Amino acid sequence: MQDTAPPNDLPVLDRSTLDRLCAALEEAAADVIDEYLTDTPRLLDQLGSALENGDSDTVAGLAHQLKSSSGALGGSQTQALAAAVEQAAKTGNSDDLAGQCRTLQNAIDAFMRSLQAYRNQI
């Protein structure tokens, strides 16, 4: 199984999206970012377990959660990759679902590093 490359035309962190969110949420923005940074590793663990167990419904549901939360915080690459995992799991097109999940994990790792750096500045 080969990892799928992340979409190169999408930023790891879309600062304009995150800046708009932070402006709207004001002091609560730090809490939202902290919640993502805390909850996402748990979701990734659950995704890995669901993948190992062949539970495509749970994989799709977790990918959907990651797509939504990452997109809301400006994780454009992560959002696109999670959408691809969700779609593959829903349609049963799981020829390389494990590879797609590894690529998603790598993108989330990069996004979380960028998000943490952003968080440290607010």
Residue ranges of domains in the chain: 15-121
Q: What is the pLDDT of residue 2?
A: 43
Predicted confidence (pLDDT) at residue 55 exceeds the cutoff of 50: yes
Average pLDDT value over all residues in the chain: 93
Q: Among 1.20.120, 3.30.70, 1.10.8, 2.120.10, what is the CATH number of 15-121?
A: 1.20.120
Sign of CA dihedral 98, 48, 89, 71: negative
pLDDT, tens digit (0-9, with 9 covering 90-100), for 69-105: 999 999 999 999 999 999 999 998 777 899 999 999 9
Name the nearest CA neighbour of 114 among 3, 21, 37, 4. Answer: 37
pTM, two decimal places: 0.91
Q: pLDDT band for position 9 (50/70/90)?
A: confident
